[in-house]
Amino acid sequence: MYKLPDMMLVLISRKKFCLKILPGTIAIIAMLVLSNLALFAANEKKQEDISISDLAYSLKATLEYDPLLHAGTITKEGRSVRFAVDVPYVLLDWTIVKEVPAPYESVTSLQIKNEFTQTVQEFFELKP
């Protein structure tokens, strides 16, 4: 029998070839599979959600955000949308309260759901 790496033990008999994987190897493979599943789930989530600064840029609007209060404003042509992190409402022109998915902080930026984006875009498209 040849000396093989510790991760695998290959047993060779006369007409049989049997591959036996040690329990440590199974644990390593399981960890790799689970970590890849988590990465795929994270990538799918990023495709749905966008950065609030990307939204402001696409609207050609001004974004103001106070990291201490966790609140901000998107302003365009004298009209404003107020929002706060983890608050599922926006305040449109200081008069209308609309329910939307709450913005949340990710590692890189402030993220918003597609419904939030649509609400803000529709508001700025309407003429006052």
Residue 89 contacts residue 103 (beta carbons within 8 Å): no
Sort strands 62-66 and 71-76 into parallel, antiparallel or unpaired.
antiparallel
- Its pTM stands at 0.62
pLDDT digits (tens, 9 = 90+) for 72-119: 999 999 999 999 999 999 999 999 999 999 999 999 899 999 999 999
What are 41-52's pLDDT values in tens digits?
655 554 579 999
CATH hierarchy code of domain 50-125: 3.30.457.10
